[in-house]
């Protein structure tokens, strides 16, 4: 049973470009979470999604950031017009329906903005 899969593992973008981060949850998991981590810090909640539905986006910046979890395919975290401050590790997690607060994390995408 494969774990949470994230790609790409590393992503380099220049200021002003768009970044797309992908996440495939564990098999049988219907809930996806995105977190951001800066060096030497904890994980900051960004957004919580179910299929075709955003449950909680209280941690998402108001501009340039969006997330989706379509009926088919992976969850996407999209960052438009990236700035250097967006450089961070972005982690996706998923949880099973019977234990939605028990999160299993992927290996993350390290975003570097030049």
Residue numbers 58-77 binding another protein by CB under 8 A: 58-59
In b/e form, how buried is each residue of 16-26, taking b as 16+ CB within 10 angstroms?
Answer: eeebebbbbbb
103 within 8 A of 95, measured Cβ to Cβ: yes
Q: Which range touches another protein (CB under 8 A), out of 13-21, 62-70, 73-81, 98-106?
A: 98-106
Q: 53 has which bridge partners?
A: 50
- Under the binding rule (CB under 8 A), the answer on residue 12 touching another protein is no
Among 8, 12, 18, 41, binds another protein (CB under 8 A): 41
**DSSP code per residue over 3-18:** --EEE-SEEEE-TT--
- Under the binding rule (CB under 8 A), the answer on residue 25 touching another protein is no
Q: State the minimum distance, in angstroms, from the CB of residue 104 to another protein.
A: 6
CA distance 1 to 51: 20
Among 23, 69, 95, 111, binds another protein (CB under 8 A): 95
- Residue 55 DSSP SS3: strand
Where does this chain bind another protein (CB under 8 A)?
4, 31, 33, 35, 41-45, 48, 55-56, 58-59, 91, 95, 100-108
């Amino acid at each position: 049973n494969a774990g949470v899969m994230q790609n790409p593992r590393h992503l380099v973008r220049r200021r002003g470009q768009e970044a797309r981060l992908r996440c495939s949850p564990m098999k049988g998991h219907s809930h996806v979470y995105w977190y951001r981590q800066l060096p030497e810090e904890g994980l900051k909640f960004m957004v919580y999604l179910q299929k075709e539905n955003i449950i909680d986006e209280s941690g998402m910046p108001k501009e340039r950031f969006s997330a989706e979890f379509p009926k088919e395919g992976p969850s996407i975290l999209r960052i438009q017009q990236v700035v250097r401050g967006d450089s961070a590790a972005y982690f996706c997690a998923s949880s099973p329906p019977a234990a939605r607060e028990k999160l299993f994390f992927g290996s993350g995408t390290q975003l570097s903005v030049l």
